[in-house]
Amino acid sequence: MKVNEGEMVMIESPTEFADKIGLEYAKGSNQSDKKERGQFFTPIPIAKFMANLAKTNNTHYDILDPGFGTGILTSALIEHQIESNSELKSVVITAYETDESIILYAEQTLQNLKLWAISKGVELSYKLISGDFIASNYQYLSEPAENYDIIITNPPYYKLGKDHISIQQCKELVSGQPNIYSFFLGIGAALLREDGDIISITPRSFSSGRYFQAFRDFFFSKVNLMHVHLFDSRRSSFSRDKVLQEVLILKATKNSSYIPTNVMISSSGGMSDLQNPIIKTYDITMVIDSKSTQKVVHIPINDNEEQVLNLVLGWDCKLADLNINISTGPVVTFRATKFLVDHDAKLEAEFCPLIRLHNVTKMELKYPYKLKGKADKILILKESMPILLPNKDYVLLRRFSTKDDKSRLIAAPYLSAVTQSDFVGIDNAVNYIYRKNGTLNYDEIMGLSALLNCNLFDTYFRIFNGNVNVSATELREMRFPNLETIKEIGNQIIAENNLSNDRVNEIINNMFFKLTPQQKDK
């Protein structure tokens, strides 16, 4: 691509130039290569928003952009720095990129940036490294180095197979199947100077869950969360903004000497209103629950969510404190095919019910209710014993919702009267809640089911979980009201015998707070 340097400096901002170069590159590359490399370039409004989060008080900056692409993030950052920091004298940029076919394009962006900076009186030099950021820097996880003042990144996102070399290299960050983006953030945090900022756009999946536990432990031991931006689907009218629901922008800062007490949380419907986000400041203990060993990140983005979070943080119990357990159903159907019974069998001595995801609906277990091709019974044999449960009362909770489900949490009471059998099979797609050395009483069963199904709990869940999975680990970390309150809810439901969603929500909202207009509308 031939570029007239004089025009470039005069006419185009570096950010727009990088965007153009990105489009140019995209024309010549195929979609599946881009997908494989996790190659999605940041749009201009997001790059500018991220750039504006960086501090602007130094005379010199060392900047890192790992996974450089065509450099739109660094371009926006330099543009913002030069325009808002009159003291700035010099900048050194370090960029990593594994895709050799992009390097020439990246070089053009950096050349343009250099000329533009010089024209503004700022000295700019750069190192463009054609290589793997993780392989070149993972050693800093065990021996952090103070190399950079600002790290800005839109890293690749994809899950790594268990034999991937980076998993060995970054074991400090691994607790289950990792996503490559967490390695970029973890290593980034280990490379920051005191007062340094890391600014990123990544999936929000790291905010909860066991798979990101090691990452959260590492990351939040190195940096403090300062700002989170979320995209709120309810406020966006553009369908293309839907993809943004899965991601978040964050800024975290390394301050070893003091721990900031506040976190800024902003939200916008999408990109068009990104320059006018709704911003609110929260106490850090509200966002990262200090009582939780899991460092789950709560991100409330409206008054309703804030009200729910305030309420829930006043609850002191976890399920374990109530002597209640939650586990995942032990029947993995594809491994248990020889035990599954798919015909209309009647002999309960030999079979017991197999409860599957579709049997669990809000406040109601639908059994028998058989879907074609889905066995609904399981043989009781010596060999199948390890995957059967004693037939007693449980609360069942779906492990997955679909994007179309109105609610992430779908729970039903399971009462042992469903079958004469001494056993029941519970599919792996369902969590079951029980009392280990005893039984859950009927009022506890109904109270817990109502609580899990209500809008309030669904809101609580969404504040920290951006995906459709409902893991037992996450439920163990959630806060619950005390047992008396749970029983009171249960007794009211039992007395009224009205299991409708509306009534369940009314009972719970009346119990915990006066209805807000949003809750009435829900």
Ligand X SMILES: C[S@@+](CC[C@H](N)C(=O)[O-])C[C@H]1O[C@@H](n2cnc3c(N)ncnc32)[C@H](O)[C@@H]1O
3-state secondary structure of 398: strand
Q: Residue 158 or 369: which CB sits closer to ligand X?
A: 158
Q: Residue 68 or 339: which CB sits closer to ligand X?
A: 68
Estimate the share of the chain in helix, then strand, then coil, as percent rounded to the nearest 5.
Answer: 40, 25, 35
Distance CA 411, CA 447 (A): 11
Instruction: Report whether 126 contacts 95 (CB < 8 A).
Output: yes
Q: How far is the CB of 190 from ligand X (least distance, A)?
A: 16
Instruction: Report whether 311 contacts 276 (CB < 8 A).
Output: no
**CA–CA distances in Å: residue 48 to residues 42, 199, 227, 236, 436:** 10, 12, 15, 19, 53
Q: How far is the CB of 98 from ligand X (least distance, A)?
A: 4
Rg (CA), the chain: 26
Q: Residue 73 or 397: which CB sits closer to ligand X?
A: 73
Nearest to 141 by CA among 171, 165, 162: 171
Contact residue for ligand X among 3, 26, 29, 38 (CB under 6 A): 38
Burial 374-388 (b: 16+ CB within 10 A, else e): bbbbbbbeeebeebb
Q: How far is the CB of 23 from ligand X (least distance, A)?
A: 11
Q: How far is the CB of 97 from ligand X (least distance, A)?
A: 5
Residue type, 6: G
Contact residue for ligand X among 12, 16, 132, 342 (CB under 6 A): 132
Distance CA 362, CA 411 (A): 5
Q: Residue 105 or 480: which CB sits closer to ligand X?
A: 105
Instruction: Report whether 249 contacts 228 (CB < 8 A).
Output: yes
Q: How far is the CB of 110 from ligand X (least distance, A)?
A: 13
Distance CA 377, CA 353 (A): 4
Contact residue for ligand X among 20, 37, 229, 254 (CB under 6 A): 37
Distance CA 339, CA 335 (A): 9
Residue 479 φ then ψ, to 5°: -90, 145
Per CB under 6 A, the segment of 23-31, 36-44, 254-262, 334-342 that binds ligand X is 36-44
Q: Is 231 in the site for ligand X (CB under 6 A)?
A: no
Contact residue for ligand X among 15, 94, 98, 169 (CB under 6 A): 98
Q: How far is the CB of 163 from ligand X (least distance, A)?
A: 16
Contact residue for ligand X among 8, 20, 21, 39 (CB under 6 A): 39
DSSP state of 320: G
Q: Is 134 in the site for ligand X (CB under 6 A)?
A: yes
User: To which H or E segment does residue 126 belong?
Assistant: strand 123-130
* Residues 6 or more apart in contact with residue 267 via CB below 8 angstroms: 229, 230, 231, 232, 235, 277, 278, 301, 302
Q: How far is the CB of 278 from ligand X (least distance, A)?
A: 24
Distance CA 286, CA 262 (A): 9
Q: Which two tokens stand for residue 175?
A: 């607790």
Q: How far is the CB of 35 from ligand X (least distance, A)?
A: 11
Interaction residues for ligand X, span 266-295 (CB under 6 A):
none
Q: How far is the CB of 27 from ligand X (least distance, A)?
A: 15
Q: How far is the CB of 469 from ligand X (least distance, A)?
A: 23
Q: Residue 133 or 461: which CB sits closer to ligand X?
A: 133
Q: Is 99 in the site for ligand X (CB under 6 A)?
A: yes
Q: Residue 133 or 211: which CB sits closer to ligand X?
A: 133
Q: Is 42 in the site for ligand X (CB under 6 A)?
A: yes
Instruction: Report whether 118 contacts 88 (CB < 8 A).
Output: no
The 47-86 contact track toward ligand X, x by CB under 6 A, reads: -------------------xxxx--xx-------------
Q: How far is the CB of 441 from ligand X (least distance, A)?
A: 52
Q: Residue 153 or 449: which CB sits closer to ligand X?
A: 153
Contact residue for ligand X among 3, 12, 26, 40 (CB under 6 A): 40
Contact residue for ligand X among 62, 97, 393, 477 (CB under 6 A): 97
Q: Residue 132 or 488: which CB sits closer to ligand X?
A: 132
Per CB under 6 A, the segment of 98-106, 111-119, 266-274, 490-498 that binds ligand X is 98-106
Q: Which residues form the interface with ligand X (CB under 6 A)?
A: 37-42, 66-69, 72-73, 96-99, 102, 132-134, 154-156
